[in-house]
Structure 1
Amino acid sequence: MEVIEQRRSKSERENPPLVFVHGSYHAAWCWAEHWLPFFSSSGFDSYAVSLLGQGESDEPLGTVAGTLQTHASDIADFIESNLGSSPPVLIGHSFGGLIVQYYLANIVNKQTLGTENAFPELSGVVLVCSVPPSGNSGLVLRYLFSKPVAAFKVTLSLAAKGFQKSIPLCRETFFSQAMDDQLVKCYQDLMIESSRMPLFDLRKLNASLPVPKPMENSTNVLVLGAKDDFIVDCEGLKETGWFYEVEPVCIEGVAHDMMLDCSWEKGAEVLLSWLCGLSKP
């Protein structure tokens, strides 16, 4: 897998490393724009991976990049091979958040069975505008009944890849309305280049959901949402928070691509505050 890393500047305390996992149509670059330099300068070794078939990573055999299991296993291999005995905080965006949820559930299930962990332990989990544990079917159905025009646009943009041909649709799907056309075009081009093959077979993915319920109090979880998210609605955010028994944090003035949006620092500062609390002895 392609990995972009930025090591921390000097810090008086030992902070857990951060591993960032992107969603569909993205790759490691989406974290490297703002959040990697922000968190490395705040004292955290930061790593962004590109899942197989995305970005500069190798393409696996077949027509799709992988499954929840294979993507989570690839992340586990990276952690085990590169981070040694330092349990990281795993941060997932959109469908990357669903992969992180599968990773977390796998650790918990192995512990419950009293056997050795399949995946390395984590210091924490952060779900950023994440697809909820039940998948995206509920989101789509709610949009069909409550926001039919939005449902059409989301389907056109994502399923039919309409965002690749229209700057206004790309902006509406991923970014705030204030995002400059030139910047939207830059990110649009990167998204097209990043997604050489689909991240999942969505039909098979949805048949395997919901992800298993984690063991109570096993790992600290932060659920972050965006008030102006065009993809994951408020109910989806609440579902994820309810599932992990935490109060989700919904950030005003940012859209689905929280880490790339005009006010990217809003989400970064909330996450940094949570991480600092996590790192206290």
Structure 2
Amino acid sequence: MKETIVFVHGMCHGAWCWNEYFIPYFEKKGFRCIAFDLPGHEHKGSTHRITYSLGNYVQALHQVVEKLDQPPIIIGHSMGGMILQRFLKTGSCKKAILLASVPPTGVFRASLRALFRYLGLIPYLLQRNLLGGFKKYPQLMFNETAGFASFMCAESFIAYLGLFIPVFHPISIPILVVGGSRDGLITVKEFQQTAKQYNAGLEIIEGGSHDLMLDTDYAKTADAIINWLE
């Protein structure tokens, strides 16, 4: 029976971000792939404001996993990585990959860095318009593939606030932490700290952006994940 990978997207994204490159890649490797839209993320480019909590997103992941016959491998990107960490408090999976993930300590440091580096983000933050900020400064997420910014949708500010709450529970399943050396939001040091906290494997993709699955060199990231899974 094929192993199943469940993909959890991050802030302002949707299942589309996996469908571009990662799902075709992993399907060719023999995996069954499931990507789903978190509540309110069903439409590319939507500017409709949403008010879901991070807990709502965690519950959405539980609902996907509960329908499966066997524990899956779960890959969580950015906010999706924090959703995955919170899911593992009561849920389970075979293996977990934290891809450019929010660290267990939360987004406080990442948010401060972004605001100091790009002061133009402050008005968007005050307006609770996270999408506007990311579209003005796509380099926070993308390298050469900034065209994907038009696909991004509005994000719940309530969910964003939930990312400030640290994760304290232990996680015992095998974990791989993957980060890009040119990530505009999370630092290599934070990836290293996440791997240390969870006694996890660590892969730093040289030149990789925050959206590693949409980089031109996405295969470098996918290959690193495959090698670890094998």
Match of 2:96 among 117, 125, 133: 125
TM-score, structure 2 as length reference: 0.86
Note if contact 1:139-1:236 (Cα within 8 Å) is conserved in structure 2: no
| Separation (CA, whole Å) in 2 of partners of 1:156 and 1:262 | 31
Could you say which residue in structure 1 is the equivalent of 2:105?
A: 134
| Separation (CA, whole Å) in 1 of partners of 2:208 and 2:220 | 8
Q: Which runs of structure 2 are paired with 1:187-266 in the superposition (5 Å)?
A: 187-191=148-152, 194-195=153-154, 197-198=155-156, 200-206=158-164, 209-215=165-171, 218-266=172-220
What's the offset of the Cα at 1:205? 4.3
Q: Which runs of structure 2 are paired with 1:1-281 in the superposition (5 Å)?
A: 14-56=1-43, 63-67=50-54, 69-81=55-67, 83-84=68-69, 86-104=70-88, 106-107=89-90, 119=91, 121-141=92-112, 143=113, 148=116, 150-152=117-119, 159=130, 161-164=132-135, 166=136, 169-170=137-138, 172-176=139-143, 179=144, 184-185=146-147, 187-191=148-152, 194-195=153-154, 197-198=155-156, 200-206=158-164, 209-215=165-171, 218-276=172-230
| Separation (CA, whole Å) in 2 of partners of 1:80 and 1:20 | 15
| Separation (CA, whole Å) in 2 of partners of 1:200 and 1:21 | 18
Q: Secondary structure at the match of 2:96?
A: strand
| Separation (CA, whole Å) in 1 of partners of 2:205 and 2:228 | 14
Q: Secondary structure at the match of 1:152?
A: coil
What's the offset of the Cα at 1:156? 7.0
| Separation (CA, whole Å) in 2 of partners of 1:38 and 1:234 | 26
Compute the RMSD of aligned alpha carbons.
2.6
What's the offset of the Cα at 1:47? 0.7
What's the offset of the Cα at 1:241? 1.0
Alignment size in residue pairs = 223
Alignment CA distance shift 1:29-1:199 (3 Å): farther
| Separation (CA, whole Å) in 2 of partners of 1:157 and 1:227 | 26
The letter of the residue matching 2:213 is M
Q: Could you list the per-position Cα deviations for residues 138-181 of structure 1 after superposition, in whole angstroms to 9, with x for gaps in the alignment?
A: 2234x38xx94x253665788472332x4xx31x22222xx2xx
Note if contact 1:134-1:210 (Cα within 8 Å) is conserved in structure 2: yes
| Separation (CA, whole Å) in 2 of partners of 1:199 and 1:43 | 38
Q: Secondary structure at the match of 2:213?
A: coil
Q: Could you list the per-position Cα deviations for residues 173-202 of structure 1 after superposition, in whole angstroms to 9, with x for gaps in the alignment?
A: 2222xx2xxx533x12211xx33x426443
| Separation (CA, whole Å) in 1 of partners of 2:157 and 2:26 | 27
Note if contact 1:174-1:229 (Cα within 8 Å) is conserved in structure 2: yes
Note if contact 1:53-1:199 (Cα within 8 Å) is conserved in structure 2: no
CA radius of gyration, larger in: 1
Q: Secondary structure at the match of 1:130?
A: coil
Q: Secondary structure at the match of 1:92?
A: strand
List gaps (5 residues or longer) in structure 2. none
